[in-house]
Amino acid sequence: MILSHYQTRVLLQARQRRRTSIMASVDLGRTGTEVTLDQEGARFTGHGFLSWDTIVEINEAKNNCFLIQEGIPYKIQQFSELTNRYYSLMPTEKAPTLLISGTLMHRIKGIDPWQDTLKKIRAVGTVSGEVLDTATGLGYTAIVAAERASHVTTIELDPSVLEIARLNPWSNELFTRANITSRIGDSDELIREFENRSFHCVIHDPPVVSLAGNLYGLEFYTELYRILRPQGRLFHYIGDPKSPSGRTTTRGVVRRLQEAGFQQVRQVPGAFGVVAVK
């Protein structure tokens, strides 16, 4: 079972109303399971038992998702010696997001991470053929792109992130879809291995500049231009264009993309990024 306070809240509300059975989720809201409630706790059909003390413990942890093993909750989190960063799975009402050393990897204010991903994909326009996703994270971009494209190659720097993704029910298709190829390594290095004109579309959703400055540089953008086919499209996520840092970063990104050869570089404020065409 994978639970957060959004799921335990339902259980506690049912207990307060003296319900003896409800439908609840054991996979962060993706599906429902029949649950029987009694004085000791909650009994999930086919999944096991949780005491009320444990349910309250999970409910009080607003920024964590938990893996339940034999009735014991374990926070889904990792410290990576590779990057010296701390990763954790943070719940929302729908798909969870990834926290990297306290920095959110998705928008969650007025939007959920899955809808955030859909906005990025829609900003590209037509997604088809061969697609490159430069920063896997929880895999949402790769999954949504793979529903439209013939094949998606996705790159993740840190294996610790994929370990968290494997525990996230919303990331399942990252590991099960036949048309997704996952690679481990630095996008700044692996991109040089791809042949010219390999991709119809690139979705570039890097961490913030402070965590991955090399993925915002002219040299990297020149490589993106090289591997795109003529008329290929690039979506580059940047961040809130209305914030001071977002405005500054956007200006620099637009200038460097144009220097790399991209045309029709335009902002897409609703998706917090820019789109460019080769």
CATH 3.40.50.150 fits 106-277, yes or no: yes
Residue closest to 171 by CA, chosen among 136, 147, 132: 136
Please report, for the chain, the start and end positions of each structural domain, with discontinuous segments joined by +. Answer: 2-75, 106-277
Angle CA 122–124–128, to nearest 5: 95
> How confident is the model at residue 241, as a pLDDT?
84
Residue segments in the chain with a per-residue pLDDT below the cut of 70: none
Measure CA 85 to chain center: 17
CB 264 within 8 A of CB 240: no
DSSP secondary structure letter of residue 225:
H
3-state secondary structure of 28: coil
**C-alpha neighbours within 13 Å on the C-beta side of residue 24:** 31
> How confident is the model at residue 244, as a pLDDT?
87
pTM (2 d.p.): 0.94
> How confident is the model at residue 265, as a pLDDT?
96
> How confident is the model at residue 92, as a pLDDT?
97
> How confident is the model at residue 121, as a pLDDT?
95
Residue with tokens 């719940």: 91
Residue with tokens 């059975």: 21
Two tokens at 36?
């029987």
